């Protein structure tokens, strides 16, 4: 069974921070004023209220967090009247969380990070099951460049109609326009692949994968309500694992809401809980 170490967590958190920074850089290149600021070996990003990439991920691994540096960063956020959201891994230096809470950051919830080692045996079985999926009429393909908009609208439809589950509420929600803007960037980012799943020739779901230094990050999994409970997401997951391994990835990771249907699905596929992230927020200066 896969068991996380601090070294593994640092690798995952670095990749997660890279995603946020990529989104922020692309948004800034489009002419928007976006804060992209180095802090203690990672990057803080803020693009205004409601941006899904507003976060600081990866504190507490390697580079120490200095109180003066944090104070300077807080001043930059406060000048924008922005909330500061920190996603803090439980395998990071606990002194970071102590400093944050001392400075007024409040715990609002958690995220779970799960992982799966992409061994030859696992990929061989996933390949076999992928063939079975296709025999059942579930076909998973990569989205073409001209299908990025369709991919985004499909993902939004699935995201806006979530399954109910017995767990805590999400720590953040987004409107359609915010999601549409972010999903439009997915297909343009380096190392990213968008996937469609069709069932009986009809689009049924989508998924997203990003490769970062041999790490396969999975996100954007959504199934249209009419096609749920028919194996669509399992098929999308298998396709991403097989293709990711083919690109040289040795580890797949996914971030989910605790106790969610997404967590159930990936655990059923063999993913193990590696660690959690505490979500800490310091409200904007004028809040």
What is the DSSP track for 132-194? HHHHTTEEEEEPPGGGHHHHHHHHHHHHTSPPP-SSPPPS----HHHHHHHHHHHTTSTTEEE
173 and 90 within one domain? no
61-96 as b/e: b if 16+ CB within 10 A: beeebeeeebeebbeebeebebebbbbbbbbbbeeb
Region 225-232: what's the mean pLDDT? 90
46/50 Cα distance (integer angstroms): 10
Give the pLDDT of residue 167: 79
141 and 91 within one domain? no
> Domain containing 29: what range?
6-111+276-282
Give the pLDDT of residue 175: 81
Question: What phi and psi values does residue 205 have, to the nearest 5 degrees?
Answer: -170, 175
Q: How many residues does the chain have?
A: 287
131 and 78 within one domain? no
70/37 Cα distance (integer angstroms): 11
270 and 134 within one domain? yes
Question: How many domains in the chain?
Answer: 2
Nearest to 220 by CA among 269, 246, 256: 256
Whether the per-residue pLDDT at 287 is higher than 70: the answer is: no
Question: How many Cβ atoms are within 10 Å of 259's Cβ, its own excluded?
Answer: 13
Region 163-191: what's the mean pLDDT? 80
Whether the per-residue pLDDT at 163 is higher than 80: the answer is: no
**Residues forming beta bridges with residue 199, ordered by sequence position:** 138, 202
pLDDT tens by residue, 180-227: 877 887 777 878 999 999 998 899 999 999 999 999 999 989 999 989
- Cα torsion at 191, 194, 197, 202 (round to 10°)? -160
| DSSP one-letter code for 245 | H
Structure tokens at 200: 């009986």
Average pLDDT, the chain: 93
234 and 262 within one domain? yes
**pLDDT tier for residue 35 given thresholds of 50, 70 and 90:** very high
161 and 24 within one domain? no
pLDDT tens by residue, 38-96: 999 999 999 999 888 999 999 999 899 999 999 999 999 999 999 999 999 999 999 99
pLDDT tens by residue, 267-278: 999 999 999 999
Find the range with the poorest average confidence among 42-46, 50-54, 122-126, 235-239. Answer: 50-54
């Amino acid at each position: 069974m896969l068991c996380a170490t601090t070294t593994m967590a640092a690798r995952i958190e670095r990749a997660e921070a890279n995603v946020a920074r990529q989104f922020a850089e692309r948004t800034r290149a489009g002419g928007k004023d976006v804060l992209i600021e180095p802090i203690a070996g990672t990057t803080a990003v803020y693009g205004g209220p409601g941006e899904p990439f507003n976060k600081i991920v990866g504190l507490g691994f390697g580079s120490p967090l200095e109180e003066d540096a944090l104070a300077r960063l807080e001043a930059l956020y406060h000048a924008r009247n922005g909330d500061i959201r920190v996603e803090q891994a439980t395998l990071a230096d606990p002194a970071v969380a102590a400093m944050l809470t001392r400075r007024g950051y409040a715990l609002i919830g958690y995220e779970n990070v799960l992982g799966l080692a992409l061994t030859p045996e696992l990929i061989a079985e996933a390949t076999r099951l992928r063939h079975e999926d296709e025999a059942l009429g579930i076909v998973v393909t990569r989205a073409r460049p001209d299908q990025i908009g369709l991919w985004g609208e499909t993902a939004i439809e699935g995201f806006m109609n979530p399954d109910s589950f017995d767990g805590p509420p999400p720590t953040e929600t987004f409107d359609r326009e915010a999601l549409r803007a972010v999903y439009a960037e997915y297909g343009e980012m380096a190392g990213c692949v968008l996937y469609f799943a069709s069932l009986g020739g009809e689009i049924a779901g989508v998924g997203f994968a990003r490769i970062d230094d041999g790490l396969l990050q999975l996100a954007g999994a959504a199934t249209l309500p009419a096609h749920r409970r028919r194996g669509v997401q399992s098929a999308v997951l298998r396709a991403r694992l097989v293709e990711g391994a083919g690109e040289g990835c040795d580890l797949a990771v996914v971030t989910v809401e605790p106790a969610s249907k997404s967590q159930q699905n990936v655990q059923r596929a063999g993913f193990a809980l590696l660690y959690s992230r505490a979500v800490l927020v310091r409200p904007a200066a004028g809040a």
